[in-house]
Structures are given as structure tokens and as C-alpha cells.
Chains A and B, each alone.
Chain A
Amino acid sequence: MLFFKECKKILFSLTFLIYIVAVVGFYMTQFSHDAEEEISQPRQGLEDYGTIAKEVPEILMPGAANGLVSEYLNGYYVAYPIGFYKEVKLSEKKTAKMAEIITEITGISKEELDGFSDFDESGMTMMPDGNGGYIPVPKEPTLPEINIPDTMTYERFRELMRKADKIIGGGSQYSDNNIVDNFSRVPKTYEDALAEYNDIFEKDKVTGAYARLFCDYMGIIVSILPVFAAAALTNADRKSRMEQLIYARKISSVKLVLTRFSALVITLAVPVILLAFIASFRVAKLYPENSTDFFAIPQMSVGWLVPNIMFSAALGMAFTEISSQLIAVFVQGVLWFGSIMSDTELTGDIGRSTLVCRHNSLYDRNAFMENFNEFLFNRIFYTVLALVITAFTIWIYSEKRKGGLNVIRKNIIGKSKT
């Protein structure tokens, strides 16, 4: 069966060996230590238990008003209309409408807003360090004084925020989905922390918390390494000068590309799932008194990590097919690096298009659950994207078999023969 033959090709390749060493190495150095650490109950009397999103009008209204004025003065609005980061610039007409909203919620007129010159959203300034020297510190943006009129009801305020979101085009910080999380955060109390702790034991069955941490660590590595295996497998025909022999066979391009893609995903996912079982076993041993869910870590690995493997493999196949191994690795590397280095927080801050989802904690369950729908969207999005890219690869492969894309390829890397 072709599937097993493709799996065998991958399993006996150098890139797979490197993948195994890297994945196991990452598990040992990053997660292994945490798997020995028990989740501790929050202690009473601590100063800080973190924050939690809670709808408090007195906090939300000034926060959101500040945000809106700040973005108005800045000249653009951050939004995620279909999950992707976008800086929205408004037309004059829409800017006037936005100014009307700001005037209603703050009393500041459009003329005052437009005439405000002290605003500096970014940059650094030198401040005395207390020892006679100066150190660079980020400038605090200076905003006009905002006073929400007493007559402004919370309902009216939210209605105006919905309007503002609509003007921006949806997906802004002021949308119903985002406004509480963005502008109404309150410090967690001991009771909140204790409830979260109890949830970890009752709802997560302990292993759920370890599953998030396991996937956080392994997600870093499985978001980049599969591209090497995919590029090597795809390039093997070219490197072995076997392309023409394969092109001339009866097999359809759909069957061949899909079989290779499935073989890649399965062979690269299995070691991670096996490690997930090992992790489950170790966690279960750590909590002999508790009822743990033995399958929580493997299950979450499938939902969290397999989309990354699929995406990286699909991208590796597509770019290698259309250009070269090097380009494939470079493109995936750029995406991976961009995601890793983005300024999202390490716990629960999962956007709809974040490639490497992070939750680097055994705690903060609520932060993760608050974004769970975003997380689901994100994983489905990458799965679908991987399948779309694979469909594109099938088309490319099919065209190459008919000699159709050789000219393009020749122009791109100047290697192909016609």
C-alpha cells in the first residue's frame, strides 16, 4: 500500500531522525521538569493573584473611552475582522461619525480632538535614574481629559461602542466579544484563585492543566520542524532524479499528494502523541489520590498540535513543489518566528490567527477558557488552511506532470529542464 511505503520513506530519512531527537529533546528539557511539579493551592494573603475579565461598568466605560480617543488621535484602529490583525484607517465621513460618538461619551468636540497636539502614542524619553544619570523609558501617551457625562447610561455607552465597532468594520476592541476582556479587568481575589484551582481538579481532572502546558511547549517545535520533513520528502523525487519516472505513472496527482501529506502528518504526529501518553502516565503518578483523565493530554495534543503539523507540512510541500526546499523552510521560518516573537502574552492570549498558541502555565485556567472560542476558531482555521494549501499543491503537481509549470519554475529558480 502506497501510504505505508511513503511512511517508510519518511521514517528512514535523516530529517525524521532529527525531528525525533528535537521533539524528545524539547520534551525532556522543557516539559519534563513541569511534569514533576504538583499544582499548588493558592495561599491566602498574597498581594497579587493576577487579573480576571469581569463586566464592571465603572471600569469598562472610562477604559473603553480612553481607548477610543487614543485610537482616534492615533489615526488608526486595531481590529481583527476575520481573525487577522488589521490597522483600519477611516474615511473623513467615518472619522466625523466616530468624533460624534466620542463627543457623546466624553464631551470632547471634534474640533478639540483635531486640535489636540500633545498626543504622542509611541517613542522613548529620557528620565532621571535617581543616581544622577538618565535612562530611556517609554513615553506615556498624553490624552485630553476625559469625563464621561453623568447622564451617560451603561446601556447607551455599549450601544455607542457597538456603533464604533461597526464604523471600524467589526472585530475591534469595542465589539461585544472583546470589550469586557480588553477594558474591564479586575484583580483576582483569593476566592477567584481558589475557584480556579478547584476547577483544575474538578473540570480539568488535573491532566487538563498539564495538557495545556504540554501543548504550549510542543507547539513551539511542531510549528516549525515538520516543514523540514515535508520539504525533504517532496524534494526527494527531484533530488533522486526520479520525477519523470513518477510523473509517467498511472496514479492520479490527487491520490499521490494526499497520500504523501497524510503519511507526513501521521508519522510526525505519532511521536508527539506517544510523548503525550508518557506525560499522562507521569502526571497520573503524581496525583495518585485524584481521579485524572488519562486521555486529556493526548486528546488536546490532537486538537492543538496536529493543526500545526498539518499546516507546516502543507506549506513545506507546496513551496518545495513550486520553488525549492530552502524557500519552503524560509517561509515557514518567518511565520514561526513572527508568531513566537509577537507581543502576545504567554497565557491565554490566543488570537484567531496566532500560529503558535501559547499557554505557558499550569494555572490561569480562566484566561484560557475566556479565549476558548478563539482557540477553537484558530485551530479549525489552520486545519482548513492546511487542506486548502494541499489542494493548491495537488494543482501544482498536476500541472508539473503535464509540463505546465516548468517554465514558471525555471524562471523562479532557474533549475528546471524543459
Chain B
Amino acid sequence: MEKIEIKNVNKYYGKKHALKNISLTINQGMFGLLGRNGAGKTTLMKTLAGLHQKKSGKITVCGIPIENTKEIRSITGYLPQEFSMYPNMNVYEALDYLGTLSGMTSSERKKRIDTLLKKVNLTEHRHKKVKALSGGMKRRLGIAQALLHDPKVLIVDEPTAGLDPEERIRFRNLLTDAAEERIVILSTHIVGDIEASCEDIAIMNDGKILWKGTVSELINNARGKVFTVNAPQKYLSQIRKNYIVTGMLIQGEYNTVRIISDTIPDLQGVNTDEPNCEDAYMYCLYQNGCEIQGGDE
């Protein structure tokens, strides 16, 4: 069974309750884990990769209990949020070294590295030292190393942070390709990445799962709760004080302000608008009583 089952998982860092009774089922394809920085996404990712131990609960990855770390590591590819490789190794050597640690034979490594370098568009940089790679190239090398041993599960933690828009799109496409034949878990705080590549998602905050379902369900949840209003500059601070503002577009003297609210805002000329993924995410946080700072100056 190609799925990950997480049941009532708890994890502590000393006294800090980092994962609070997490339950999730993740099926084959792209799964997005969305949340603010510090929400507990990385802790959950590391726990799934066998790099952290849970305090209680049960996790099985493709039927294998998470406690069986050797088997879990052999079917899991992991790309951490912050990583690099030995700076003096070239791209090929770095992958070859990590392939050896994955127990691959010399011929398996050669074949797989060639294929992956082609896939991540690094073939012509195979002899380049890791320290000479750009940020985007390093990320692509990162995804290549995670896919090296052809894992059933790929866990990527904040992979697009710091990338330019072109690299970000290229990276998302790589993940989407990878998700055709495996489970890919993408953890991010960038809503656009989730919207562009994931169908199933979960939203985390303060160690808890606030919401789980599909992107369209999330958007539906916010339908009728998003409003726009054209307001003069001088009223902006008042609007921010009273409502959750998710966007502002300056158009001459007036600003088009995007507002989230459970009720129709008491503002002149207010219109209901179609929610986008970002609105829906913000509404979900708002709905669950999370403090939202976006509206204040």
C-alpha cells in the first residue's frame, strides 16, 4: 500500500509540545504541507524521514513502521530546508558519495546519476565543484540526491525558499514529475507553490493540523468570505485595524483592498470576490483563531 499513515502523533522538545496529536493519511502524488515558519512542518518532515523520534502515536510509511529506520531510510528521499554538500567535491562526486551511502552499486550509481543529472538539467555542470553552483543549481542537485536511490517517498522541506521565479517554476515541475510514481510531500510557507503543484494539502499551525483536504475544498471554504473595496489612502489604516487585509492594489488616489471577513464588511462599495488559495489559507488561519499580523501596519 503506497501511503503514509500518521495517527495521533505527539513530539516534544523538552517541555515544548512540537507536534500535537497529528493524524494524516498521505497518498501517492503531491501532498502539500502549508504553514507559517515555526508551525511544526520541519519537525513533522524529519519525523517522517526517521530523523526525529516521536513521543507517542503511530506512523507507517508504505506499511513499514517508522521505528524501522533502516528500511524507512531505504525507501525515503529527503531534501532538508538547509543543506549543502562537501564544497570541494564536484557534482558527480557528491552524488556518487551519497549513492554509496545509500548502498547502491557502482553501476547503479553511474546509470542513475546520469539520468538524474539530465532530468535536473545539470549534466553540463557535472564536473563543477559544489561551491561554484548557484542557489538554484544547488536545489536541483538537492532534489537529484533525494531521488538517487529511487525512493517510494520524497520529502522536501521548503525547497523553493530563496529561488527566483523561473527556478521556482522549474523546481515545482521537477517535483510534479517525481510525484507521478511516488509520494511527494512538499512542506512550504509559500502558498503559490502549493496552489501550483498540490491537490491534497494540510495546514499546520502551532504543532497542530488546522485543516486537511484538497485545494479546491480549501478555496470553497473561503467562498463568500472575501471582499474587495476601493478605498482612499486615508482610510487604509482604519480598514487594517478592523479587518484582515490580504492584498492592496494602488490605483491612483484609491486602493483596491482585499478583505477577509465572516460577515459583509461595513464599508461603502464593498464587493464579494472569488477567493484564491492565499485568501483561503488566511481565512483558515483566521477561522481557527490564529493571530494574523498581515492586517496591521
Contact = CB atoms under 8 A, between A and B. Distances in A.
Given A248-B77, A401-B50, 19 more contacts: A240-B84, A240-B85, A242-B83, A242-B86, A244-B51, A244-B78, A244-B80, A245-B98, A248-B49, A248-B51, A248-B76, A248-B78, A250-B73, A251-B101, A402-B50, A402-B53, A402-B69, A403-B52, A418-B13
Q: Which 6 pairs show the lowest CB-CB distances between chains A and B?
A: A249-B101, A403-B52, A248-B78, A244-B80, A241-B84, A250-B74
Nearest to B71: A250
A262 to B, nearest CB: 15
Interface string B18-55: 00000000000000000000000001001001111100
B53 A403 contact: yes
Contact of B87 (A240, A244, A256, A404): A240
Given A248-B51, A402-B53, A242 B85 contact: yes
Interface of B: 13-14, 43, 46, 49-53, 69-70, 73-74, 76-78, 80, 82-88, 96-98, 100-103, 145, 149
Contact of A245 (B13, B14, B80, B103): B80
Interface in A1-29: 1-2, 5, 9, 12
A246 B103 CA distance: 12
A407 interface: yes
A247 B51 contact: yes
Given A246-B101, A249-B73, A252-B70, A241 B51 contact: no
Interface residues of A, number: 25
Interface in A204-243: 236, 240-242
Contacts of B51: 244, 247-248, 401-403
A251 B84 contact: no
B100 A5 contact: yes
B294 to A, nearest CB: 27
A30 B295 CA distance: 74
B209 to A, nearest CB: 20
Contact of A241 (B52, B82, B100): B82
A236 B86 contact: yes
Contacts of A248: 49-51, 73, 76-78
Contacts of B83: 241-242, 244-245
Given A242-B84, A245-B78, A245-B83, A250 B101 contact: yes
B86 A246 contact: no
Contacts of B98: 245-246, 249
A276 to B, nearest CB: 31
Contact of B145 (A245, A250, A251, A401): A245
Contact of B14 (A236, A247, A402, A407): A407
A9 B89 CA distance: 9
30 contacts: A2-B101, A240-B86, A241-B83, A241-B84, A242-B84, A242-B86, A244-B83, A245-B78, A245-B83, A245-B85, A245-B145, A247-B51, A248-B49, A248-B73, A249-B98, A249-B101, A249-B102, A250-B70, A250-B73, A251-B103, A401-B50, A401-B51, A402-B50, A402-B69, A403-B46, A403-B51, A403-B52, A403-B53, A404-B53, A407-B14
Contacts of B80: 244-245
A399 B149 CA distance: 24
Nearest to A418: B13
A407 B13 CA distance: 8
A376 to B, nearest CB: 38
